[in-house]
Amino acid sequence: MCGIVGYAGKRQAAPILLDGLSKLEYRGYDSAGICVQGERELRVFKAKGRLKVLSDQISGGAAVPGVVGIGHTRWATHGAPSNINSHPHLSDSGKIAVVHNGIIENEARLREWLIGKGWHFRSDTDTEVISNLVGYYYDKLHDFPKAVRAAIKRVEGSYALGILCADLPDMVIAVKKDSPLIFGYGEGENFIASDVPAILKYTRTVSYLDDGDMAVFTPDTVRFFDSFGDEIRKSRETVTWEISAAEKGGFDHFMLKEIFEQPKALRDTISPRIRDGRLELGVELSAEFLRKLHRVYFIACGSAYYVSVLAKYTLEKACKVAVEAVMASEFRYSDPIVDDHTLVVAISQSGETADTLAALREAKSRGAKTLAIVNVVGSAVAKTADQTIYTWAGPEIAVATTKAFSTQLAVVYLLALHMAKQLGTLDEAEIARLLGELQKLPEQVERELREENIERIQYYCSRNYAHNSAFYIGRNLDSAVCLEGSLKLKEVAYVHSEAYPAGELKHGPISLIEEGTTVVALATIPALFDKTISNVREVRARGAEVFCITLEEFAERAGKVSQYVFPVPAAEPMFQPSLSLIPLQLVGYYIALNRGCDVDKPRNLAKSVTVE
């Protein structure tokens, strides 16, 4: 939700800001804007719509001279997407410019107070409250850092801010709470950004700002302060990602690239945790704690929640513990039964999803032991949980998740095996066998991504893209995979779609099946194959067009009742969802492509959802 960048150096700032923003568009793309320090004034350029609109208006930045600036790409919360509501926002005095990622919760009260002091507002945004508040204190204190500190003290909510002051042309101030912000060190230049890809081209040396931290920087200097205003030292970290990880690398879209990166992402996530055939997960979940467990909660949002649903099936079977998967947005307000015999696992790619973070904090406050499964290193969820297991998916840029989902699921398998070992619900030999099977997954996914399989999916999608209603049906683990497949279709192809356990369809939704309704049936569980196929027969009898995903050995039988069949390799049953998922991701992608949708940036969405 919104991306911010900042630069102070010796090069022209505008092209660097625009380039950085282009790597953050996944965070929102309702509007974009930059502010560059001119000779004696702050020069703001902003435009509704994609970054390209702004970039074209200012000739890629060439039209805006200046070596210090800030930039923003927006996902609208307060106020509709418009030129006026775009960031940066200037204070009424014109002295202060602000870019902001987050939400100011006491915006109305502060706005009223500032209006009472004679300050005017031009936009509907909560951010303008910050520019005016800093402007107000700057007029009083004549000290830019002190003015920012005074303003921040009065603000409630979440923020990552980049701030300029017209009187200090080489200085940028950055401050954060509950929204991510990194500081990048260059040679005679310094950077801030919401995420690493925005500055990776210029530097690999970064510091992750913590809540309450403030960075005051110029091209050659940086000083960090904590929330009490005391100067602090920040540790420097080296980012190890390849720059190519944040580029499309010959693929038409990030989503397709990331689908194809899944074998590597799975390998990177699984291999380091298995040494000489033994599982080394690197978490402390002792047998003593696990034996006394009352319950495990998985909390997450969207696709990560669907991983949680799969985790419920997986852990209950392997570890014989009671597991609940709860949407993070519901967990917090449901008075969950949590005590110190509860394990709460939060799953998040970004590690900054507001609902997940709030639910995790709630769980901690109730005494649960907490564990996070996170992709973004050093993110808020990772820092908040007692322990973190990272998914090594690399940067995921497409708004719709693919490789992060796959790696989250792989970590769930590893966690299930770790717990089963501690609890003794699976014996050593069985665990060793399962680890061997798990290591086969990357190669099996590779096989699924072969040309002939892609062509098969392309053919199906080219004939079925026009349907506006779809059902995804399956049983047990398959029904949970359907949730993710259906979401992919909804979010990138804008097709109304429902995922339903196949046996449940006849209790209501079957009334929606008519001539031409798309049904995607997952039938990959041998013991349930016949039952699911009976449900396929029921929808076929009512006119549905069925695309059936099943194991290679069942393909022929599935073909007798379905118009289209996609065979997937058989994995160890527990790990089968990782393979059933792949064709569903591809169906979402190719249907969207056929419908002319903007696959990487679906309408109304942003990748990091930092509002509740």
**Catalytic site positions:** 2, 607
Nearer to ligand F6R, 160 or 551 (CB): 160
Question: Distance (Å, rounded) from C-alpha 568 to C-alpha 577?
Answer: 10
Q: Does 348 bind ligand F6R (CB under 6 A)?
A: yes
Q: Does 350 bind ligand F6R (CB under 6 A)?
A: yes
Q: Does 303 bind ligand F6R (CB under 6 A)?
A: yes
Question: Distance (Å, rounded) from C-alpha 274 to C-alpha 288?
Answer: 23
Number of residues that bind ligand F6R (CB under 6 A): 14
Half-sphere exposure of 288 (CA within 13 A, CB side): 1
Per-residue binder mask for ligand F6R (CB under 6 A), 206-245, x = binder: ----------------------------------------
DSSP state of 23: T
* Shortest distance in whole angstroms from residue 312 CB to ligand F6R: 17
State which of residues 353, 425, 550, 610 lies at the interface with ligand F6R (CB under 6 A): 353
Question: Distance (Å, rounded) from C-alpha 232 to C-alpha 224?
Answer: 5
Q: Does 610 bind ligand F6R (CB under 6 A)?
A: no
Report yes or no: 24 and 3 within 8 Å, Cβ to Cβ: yes
* Shortest distance in whole angstroms from residue 590 CB to ligand F6R: 16
Nearest alpha-carbon partner for 303 in 327, 273, 321, 285: 327
Point out which span in 84-92, 99-107, 318-326, 342-350 binds ligand F6R (CB under 6 A). 342-350
Nearer to ligand F6R, 17 or 397 (CB): 397
Instruction: Give the other-Cβ count within 10 Å of 432's Cβ.
Output: 15
Question: Distance (Å, rounded) from C-alpha 281 to C-alpha 270?
Answer: 9
Nearer to ligand F6R, 92 or 355 (CB): 355
Point out which span in 69-77, 81-89, 216-224, 349-357 binds ligand F6R (CB under 6 A). 349-357
Point out which span in 161-169, 235-243, 286-294, 296-304 binds ligand F6R (CB under 6 A). 296-304
State which of residues 301, 309, 568, 587 lies at the interface with ligand F6R (CB under 6 A): 301
Question: What CA–CA distances, in Å, run from 543 to 362, 389, 462, 465, 537?
Answer: 48, 46, 19, 17, 10
Specify which residues 160 forms β-bridges with.
Answer: 101, 176
Q: Does 132 bind ligand F6R (CB under 6 A)?
A: no
Q: Does 304 bind ligand F6R (CB under 6 A)?
A: yes
Point out which span in 281-289, 297-305, 310-318, 569-577 binds ligand F6R (CB under 6 A). 297-305
* Shortest distance in whole angstroms from residue 488 CB to ligand F6R: 7
Nearer to ligand F6R, 470 or 487 (CB): 487
Nearer to ligand F6R, 203 or 402 (CB): 402
Provide the 3-class DSSP secondary structure of residue 326: strand
Question: What CA–CA distances, in Å, run from 72 to 57, 199, 271, 387?
Answer: 16, 14, 38, 33
Give the sheet arrangement for strand 89-90, strand by strand.
Answer: 89-90, 96-104, 157-165, 172-177, 214-217, 222-225, 231-232
Point out which span in 152-160, 191-199, 299-307, 440-448 binds ligand F6R (CB under 6 A). 299-307
Q: Does 255 bind ligand F6R (CB under 6 A)?
A: no
Question: Distance (Å, rounded) from C-alpha 369 to C-alpha 342?
Answer: 6
Q: Does 486 bind ligand F6R (CB under 6 A)?
A: no
Instruction: Give the other-Cβ count within 10 Å of 65's Cβ.
Output: 14
Specify which residues 295 forms β-bridges with.
Answer: 342
Which residues contact ligand F6R (rule: CB under 6 A)? 301-304, 348-350, 353, 356, 400-401, 487, 491, 609
